[in-house]
Amino acid sequence: MSASTEPAATSSDGAAAPAAPGGSRGPARAGRLVPTLAALAAVVLCAVVAVVATAGDTGFWQQGGLPVPPRWLASAALVAKVCAVAGAALAAGSLLVAGVIAAPQASGTVGVHGYRGLRRGALTALLGGVAAIGAGWLSVADTTGVSPGDLAGAGPFGWLGAAATLEEPLGWTLAGVLLLLVAAGAATFLSWRAAGGLGVLAAVSTALPAAVHPAATGAGHDWSGDANVVRAVAGVVWLGLAAAVTAYRVHGGPVDHAAGRRIRALLAGSGVLYLAGEVVFQLVVTDAGPLAGSRYVGVAVVAAVLLALLVAGTALLARGTAPRVLLPVLALVGGVVGALGIATTRLVPPRFLATDDTAMQALIGWDVTRPFSAVTVLTEWRWNLLFGTGALLMAGGYLYGVHVLRTRGVTWPVGRTVAWLLGCATLVLATSSGLGFYSPAMFSVHMMSHMTLNMLAPILLSLGGVVTLALRALRPAGRGNPPGPREWLLAAVHSPIAKALTHPAVAAIVFVGSFYLLYFTPLFDGALRFHWSHQLMNLHFVLVGYLFFWPLIGVDTAPHKLPHLGRLALLLATMPFHAFFGISVMVSSDVLGENFYRQVGLPWMDLLDDQRTGGGIAWGTGEIPMLLVMIVLVYQWSRDDSREAQRHDRQADRDDDAELKAYNEMLAQLRRGG
């Protein structure tokens, strides 16, 4: 729907609100300018804090052997980053208020408060996107020694080429592009679904520069990188909501009942995630390093003190006992904490002053000292912060849903629970056990992890019926309330994107084609070099597998329902492509990812032999899950036929075989007519 007209203002009972006398609008409008002016002042303050926190410290450039830039250039880059994060936070908060907090109209269009959130989200996303692209441009000059004028003279393609070779500038640039897309979407659509989805996208945009944080390198960079992504996204959600809810209150938005509970839950949840990410990140980057006399430690201590205040204030907000003025105060404190975090991107953490990392630590984050074996699968564990923790949360949430149904006297099949828990355990084993430990360093183990994530885990998860469980456990939001988790789940399942991705033809092409696109193009060699790309590969494997197996054997009703014979035909059609992929890897004389694996340099391994082993794993292990799917599919087919026969029998008992008698009468009429 086009955002060409603003929804009419309504009163609390839904009727059109009468226009205020002309003379009374001036003070009201002036009062409502206060949040805008306060937000601008807060952004300026945060920019000043970031610049002051790094004043006179050139250790970042000296440590990396980089030319020290002029002070104004380093300050300009920090200011651009602060503005970019502020824009992303305000956009995410405003759009989440429009989609999750403010009650929409019955048609699904946002109400008056939601429309204000959309307008603020569009404007702040636009400003944040421009600032993020500027931060990428200035970061190129900041780290290479090339002046911004020379970069501008090289043209857009010259600057983008330089940014593409540097991780941090590329992260900021891509974040800016995402924010500009958010701004365009917020200016175009008026539904609460679009508003909430765009709010999530605005928050996720900050994960791009966070994943390539300068401190997320060397030993332990898998943990510091994941923790930094978590704290960046959660921090933006918390800060954006705190600021947006403040503006929402100023404009008279109701915060009682469902809206108030939703605000407190979102602030508490994002606050907990931010705190966990912050603790893990700081533990990694300060480990075994000198703490005394470090500018980084001084800034981190100030941030920790302010963070303690945020924790206490968020606890009061979660309990609903906080005074009204506390939320904007906490938003300001949170903005300062975020500015200090941005300042640390140009300060050297203590760990980098203590020891030199080995080549293997620089490449994958840890040392691999023993050959891979069945024993090391069980003994060499490396916890994956995102997938390991995510799997535990998935299992806990599922069990809580089952508990909710039991308290209502509703039974839930044990087999579905077992399947879901086994799927979660499979995620943990594939990413955090010895498989996850050796996967970045050995192609064969990578293929074992890949096939587990792509073939086995999605099969088990699709048999768990998590969508059905959630829809039964979650209660509707109720008339007049903002959409709740149940409404959001239904909107996601029935969205055009879900319908397109779960179409059998699309799912099959993506499921099979992604193998060849990833491994037989330069994409695989580039993806091996970064932890964030490893995580994206893992996520891709799980999602693509789930989208393929969900319409085939999933308990949840898929947007496109195939007959059993069609499901079996689709399964049989994809099986040869898996076998051909494994054989192609086995017979290839070129080592996939050769440059990376030679830099890792495991002394006991021949790269080509290891690749042949990986191809055999892809061939052999790919057929076993397919056989399992075929057995499940045939069982479901037989069970559905039995249910259909029982339904016909019950119907015949009720109507004394009316259908059979009508059929016999038709045959008799045909004989008489003949």
Q: 124, 119, 236, 89: which is closest to 186 by C-alpha?
A: 119
For residues 473 and 549, state if they share a domain: yes
For residues 432 and 478, state if they share a domain: yes
Query: What's the domain count of the chain?
Result: 2
The percentage of the chain sitting over the pLDDT mark of 70, rounded to a whole number, equals 86
Structural domain range at position 418: 378-655
The residues near 17 (Cβ < 8 Å, ≥ 6 apart) are 8, 9, 10, 11
Please report which confidence band the pLDDT of residue 216 belongs to, taking 50, 70 and 90 as the band edges. Answer: confident
Q: What is the pLDDT of residue 349?
A: 87
Task: Look at phi and psi of residue 120 and say left if phi exceeds 0, alpha if psi is from -120 to 50, else beta.
Answer: alpha
Please report which confidence band the pLDDT of residue 6 belongs to, taking 50, 70 and 90 as the band edges. Answer: very low
For residues 348 and 420, state if they share a domain: no
- Which stretch of 23-27, 216-220, 238-242, 398-402 has the lowest confidence by average pLDDT? 23-27
For residue 195, the cross-strand partners are none
Tell which wins on pLDDT, 603 or 294: 603
Q: 459, 467, 550: which is closest to 506 by C-alpha?
A: 550
For residues 80 and 40, state if they share a domain: yes
Round to whole Å and give the CA distance between 460 and 664. Answer: 47
Segment 501-519 mean pLDDT: 87
For residues 387 and 478, state if they share a domain: yes
Q: What is the pLDDT of residue 17?
A: 37
Buried b (16+ CB within 10 A) or exposed e, 335-361: bbbbbbbbbbbbbbbbbbeeeebeebb
For residues 209 and 251, state if they share a domain: yes
Q: Is residue 82 part of a domain?
A: yes
pTM greater than 0.75: yes
Q: Average pLDDT of the chain?
A: 84
User: What backbone phi and psi angles, to 5 degrees, belong to 462?
Assistant: -70, -25
Please write the tens of the pLDDT for every residue from 270-290. 999 999 999 999 988 888 777
Residue that the structure tokens 């119907």 belong to: 651
> 68: which DSSP letter?
P
For residues 118 and 167, state if they share a domain: yes
For residues 403 and 546, state if they share a domain: yes
Round to whole Å and give the CA distance between 444 and 658. Answer: 63
Q: How far is CA 121 from CA 86, 189, 368, 447, 646, in A?
A: 12, 12, 47, 43, 55
Contact 475, 183 (CB under 8 A): no
Q: What is the pLDDT of residue 226?
A: 93
Q: Is residue 667 part of a domain?
A: no
Please report which confidence band the pLDDT of residue 239 belongs to, taking 50, 70 and 90 as the band edges. Answer: very high
Q: What is the pLDDT of residue 11?
A: 37
- Which stretch of 113-117, 661-665, 667-671 has the lowest confidence by average pLDDT? 661-665
For residues 386 and 534, state if they share a domain: yes
Q: Is the pLDDT of residue 667 over 50?
A: yes
Please write the tens of the pLDDT for every residue from 297-319. 889 899 999 989 888 888 887 77
The residues near 370 (Cβ < 8 Å, ≥ 6 apart) are 376, 380
Q: Is residue 1 part of a domain?
A: no
Round to whole Å and give the CA distance between 203 and 150. Answer: 33
Q: Is residue 367 part of a domain?
A: no
Round to whole Å and give the CA distance between 87 and 231. Answer: 17
Please write the tens of the pLDDT for every residue from 161-183. 666 677 888 899 999 999 999 99
For residues 336 and 383, state if they share a domain: no
Q: Is residue 94 part of a domain?
A: yes
Q: Is residue 569 part of a domain?
A: yes
Please write the tens of the pLDDT for every residue from 600-643. 888 888 899 999 999 888 887 766 777 777 777 777 666 665 56
Q: Is residue 505 part of a domain?
A: yes
Residue that the structure tokens 């109701």 belong to: 254
For residues 198 and 238, state if they share a domain: yes
Q: Is residue 358 part of a domain?
A: no
Segment 448-464 mean pLDDT: 91
Q: Which of 318, 352, 386 is where one domain is finished?
A: 352
Q: Is the pLDDT of residue 538 over 70?
A: yes
Q: Which of 313, 337, 352 is where one domain is finished?
A: 352
Segment 100-128 mean pLDDT: 90
Round to whole Å and give the CA distance between 334 and 332. Answer: 5
Round to whole Å and give the CA distance between 453 and 428. Answer: 10
Q: What is the pLDDT of residue 469?
A: 93
Q: Which H or E run includes 53? A: helix 34-53
Please report which confidence band the pLDDT of residue 405 belongs to, taking 50, 70 and 90 as the band edges. Answer: very high
Please report which confidence band the pLDDT of residue 569 belongs to, taking 50, 70 and 90 as the band edges. Answer: confident
Q: What is the pLDDT of residue 22?
A: 42
For residues 393 and 342, state if they share a domain: no
The percentage of the chain sitting over the pLDDT mark of 90, rounded to a whole number, equals 35
Task: Please count the CA atoms within 13 angstroms of the CA of 107 that sit on its side-chain side.
Answer: 8
Please report which confidence band the pLDDT of residue 443 belongs to, taking 50, 70 and 90 as the band edges. Answer: very high
Q: Is the pLDDT of residue 402 over 90?
A: yes
